[in-house]
Amino acid sequence: MRRFYAPPENFSKQNIVLSLEETRHLRDVLRLRAGEIIQVFDGNGKEFSCEIETIGKKETVLKIIEEIAPSAPESSLNLTLAIALLKGEKFDLVIQKAVELGVSKIVPLITKRTDVKLKDSDKKIERWQRIILESSKQCGRAKLMEITQPINFAEFIKLSEGTKILFAERNGKDLTDFLFSEKIVGIVGSEGGWEDSELDLARENGVQIVTLGGRILRAETAGIVIPALLQNHFGDLK
């Protein structure tokens, strides 16, 4: 089934209006016509079966048939992935897979070994949001993953936001030592790893350190593997 997105403000009791971009995709790429059935989600977790009523140059009007369950339900785990910025398409890949793995929010971190220059963070956020939207369409989620502005690690680590677990290559516990928690923040470092001062700061602020045995993972690999492990340990990926 073809899935489209419309923000909540485009919904009324009986109709949904698709944006210009979604209309172009519906009309010019998929070549759908009035009378065909599609699915639309609102980014807040709701999804609807709809019939196409009219297709215009700038918008498409849909008739709501019924509310339906999204094909990919949200995890019971409120999972935040805080990960150091990565070069090029590596960060794009992590974002895409985080959506598929049911991550609730991504926080881009600036660590001491982050080797990425941020020229225009607003444009990057817009790009990342487009990736989140497209990935949500494909994987069946009806709730859009949140992404924040990049933040300095030292500032982020002092924020109170659930059980924080930082993954490091040394001097950490085993993940199986942790008891169940409904709100987890998984923290992943840069391609150069963590500096000792950052690990000390994390401990001082009550952050738990975890080391994954003897595996040496690239940063983008860790950004995918760690949400999967946390969903398996605390969430619904069993």
pLDDT tens, 19-31? 999 999 999 999 9
Average pLDDT over residues 80-90: 93
Beta strands in the chain (DSSP E): 3-5, 15-18, 37-41, 47-55, 60-68, 78-84, 105-110, 146-147, 151-152, 163-167, 183-188, 208-210
The neighbour count for residue 38, using CB atoms within 10 Å, is 20
Map out the domains of the chain with their CATH numbers.
Answer: 3-68 (2.40.240.20), 78-234 (3.40.1280.10)
* Residue 191 and residue 115 in contact, taking contact as beta carbons nearer than 8 Å: yes
Give CA angle at 185 (182, 190), nearest 5°.
160
Q: What pLDDT score was predicted for residue 88?
A: 81
Q: List the single range of 8-17, 101-110, 171-180 with lowest mean pLDDT.
A: 171-180
Q: What pLDDT score was predicted for residue 174?
A: 85
Q: What pLDDT score was predicted for residue 177?
A: 80
Q: What pLDDT score was predicted for residue 212?
A: 84
Q: Is residue 166 pLDDT above 80, yes or no?
A: yes
Could you tell me how far CA 209 lies from the centroid of its own chain?
Answer: 23
Handedness of CA 146, 148, 191, 155 (dihedral sign): negative
Q: What pLDDT score was predicted for residue 68?
A: 97
Could you read off the pLDDT of 86-106 as tens digits, one per residue? 988 999 999 999 999 999 999
Average pLDDT over residues 22-50: 97
* Residue 60 and residue 27 in contact, taking contact as beta carbons nearer than 8 Å: yes
